[in-house]
Amino acid sequence: MSEEILPRIREEIAALPPYRQGKQAGADAFKLSSNENPFEPLPSVVAALTAGAPINRYPDATAGALRARLGERYGVAPDAVHVASGSVAILYQLVAAAATVGDEVVYAWRSFEAYPGLPLVAGATGVQVPLTADSRHDLDAMAAAITERTRVVIVCTPNNPTGPIVTSAEFAAFVAQVPRDVLIVLDEAYAEFVTAPDAVDGLAERVFETHPNVVVLRTFSKAYGLAGLRIGYAIGHPRVLDAARTTAIPLSVTAAAEGAAIASLDAEDELRARVAVIVERRAELVAGLRAQGWDVPDAQGNFVWLPTGDATADVAAAFEDAGLIVRAFPGDGIRISVGEAESLPRVLAVAAAQR
Ligand SMILES: *Cc1c(COP(=O)(O)O)cnc(C)c1O
């Protein structure tokens, strides 16, 4: 039998395992592995899905209605808003636009599992800067890691998967240290869940106006519960966002997603009430886990972090046996999303048994 010949693939791509999604939950299991919103979509949002443009037609390539709406809301021109099929898409667009072979992309580690793929796909080099002992960004070390090859620095707040925020003061001091020609991406996917009063808020503080190298990312996937529709946005300098528009795959934001996002902004109060419920559940989980002796870092997103270290695989198996799908990072820890009310006592029971 002759060896099958396949097309040549770039070595650094072929060396990696392909993306595999976390396990799908069985009938009576809770899926707490992807930081999704546990609530059913609002009827008004479902109605917007079917009221959108006909599906035999292409969508508005610029998502103009949503960009106008977001521009109004944040007091910026529509050109200072960029919409894509999830904020992960915008991360790829920005890194592809700014970095190539020989360039560096700096980010904290452990952080969002999508970050290592960004420089890889662009042919650039990723530079990981370890978190502090309390699982926070070490912004001084990140600033020190910047060289003349650095093109992009990513700051994730609250940090996925560990939970803590970056403060306004820390971010301001960091931005002041970063060369003005290096792009800073402030990934605020969980901004709506933050309760820490000193947390940076890139949109409220309008950092992108004083520092045009800062782009703020937000998403409809988490607080707004639209993960399945794939829609997120960036706010920043129009010329920087033009670069993301150039590298974007055209027409990937559907009219259905755009319509649902606008309907969600119309229903903001109802959705914020749900976020408040998730924040209450988060406090309950953190308090319960800490009372059991777990060293849970400050949880400011819709998830909690268990630093399970070498026991990670065993503890994750115990959660799965109990019908709780969690996200395990072998050798490091376990991220558990704040989900349905009924999942909380189950999470706490399994965690207690693992102490
Ligand atoms: C979930 C998440 C995103 C957003 O993902 P979408 O592509 O908008 O669904 C971005 N950044 C981080 C850190 C996340 O956890």
Kindly indicate the confidence band of residue 108, based on its pLDDT and cuts at 50, 70 and 90: very high
Identify the pLDDT of residue 183: 98
Q: What is the mean pLDDT of residues 74-78?
A: 98
Kindly indicate the confidence band of residue 16, based on its pLDDT and cuts at 50, 70 and 90: confident
Ligand 1 proximity of 160 Cβ (cutoff 6 Å)? yes
> To the nearest whole percent, how much of the chain has pLDDT over 90?
92
Ligand 1 centre distance from Cα of residue 88 (Å): 6
Ligand 1 centre distance from Cα of residue 291 (Å): 30
Atom of ligand 1 nearest to the CA of 231: 8
Atom of ligand 1 nearest to the CA of 35: 1
Digit-coded pLDDT (tens) for 282-315: 999 999 999 999 999 999 999 999 999 999 999 9
Digit-coded pLDDT (tens) for 187-203: 999 999 999 999 999 99
Of residues 293, 294, 286, 292, the one with CA closest to residue 338: 286
Identify the pLDDT of residue 23: 66
Q: What is the mean pLDDT of residues 320-332?
A: 96
Identify the pLDDT of residue 216: 98
Identify the pLDDT of residue 268: 96
- Residue 210, pLDDT > 90, answer yes
Tokens describing residue 52: 């959108």
Residue nearest to atom 7 of ligand 1 (CA): 86
Atom of ligand 1 nearest to the CA of 301: 15
- Residue 22, pLDDT > 70, answer no
Ligand 1 centre distance from Cα of residue 91 (Å): 9
Q: What is the mean pLDDT of residues 124-130?
A: 98
Identify the pLDDT of residue 77: 98
Contact between 245 and 156 under an 8 Å Cβ cutoff? The reply is no
Ligand 1 centre distance from Cα of residue 75 (Å): 24
Ligand 1 proximity of 227 Cβ (cutoff 6 Å)? yes
**Mean pLDDT for all residues in the chain:** 96
- Residue 13, pLDDT > 80, answer yes
Ligand 1 centre distance from Cα of residue 161 (Å): 11
Kindly indicate the confidence band of residue 116, based on its pLDDT and cuts at 50, 70 and 90: very high
Kindly indicate the confidence band of residue 53, based on its pLDDT and cuts at 50, 70 and 90: confident
Of residues 229, 226, 207, 228, the one with CA closest to residue 216: 207
Q: What is the mean pLDDT of residues 112-139?
A: 97
Identify the pLDDT of residue 1: 58
Give the C-alpha distances (Å, rounded to integers) separating 149 from 59, 152, 186, 254: 38, 9, 20, 36
Kindly indicate the confidence band of residue 19, based on its pLDDT and cuts at 50, 70 and 90: confident
Q: Distance between CA 142 and CA 145 in Å, rounded?
A: 5
Ligand 1 proximity of 87 Cβ (cutoff 6 Å)? yes
- Single-letter code of the amino acid located at 132: T
Ligand 1 proximity of 112 Cβ (cutoff 6 Å)? yes
Domains of the chain: 11-41+269-353 (3.90.1150.10), 43-266 (3.40.640.10)
Q: Distance between CA 62 and CA 331 in Å, rounded?
A: 43
Ligand 1 proximity of 30 Cβ (cutoff 6 Å)? no
Contact between 244 and 87 under an 8 Å Cβ cutoff? The reply is no
Identify the pLDDT of residue 27: 78
Residue nearest to atom 14 of ligand 1 (CA): 189
Burial class (CB in 10 A: 0-12, 13-18, 19+), 80: buried
Ligand 1 proximity of 88 Cβ (cutoff 6 Å)? yes
Global confidence as pTM:
0.97
Could you tell me where the DSSP H helices lie in the chain?
11-14, 43-51, 64-74, 87-98, 117-122, 139-144, 168-177, 207-210, 238-247, 255-266, 268-291, 312-321, 343-353
Ligand 1 centre distance from Cα of residue 87 (Å): 6
- Residue 56, pLDDT > 80, answer yes
Residue nearest to atom 1 of ligand 1 (CA): 189
Q: What is the mean pLDDT of residues 256-280?
A: 97
Atom of ligand 1 nearest to the CA of 221: 9
Ligand 1 centre distance from Cα of residue 222 (Å): 8
Ligand 1 proximity of 232 Cβ (cutoff 6 Å)? yes
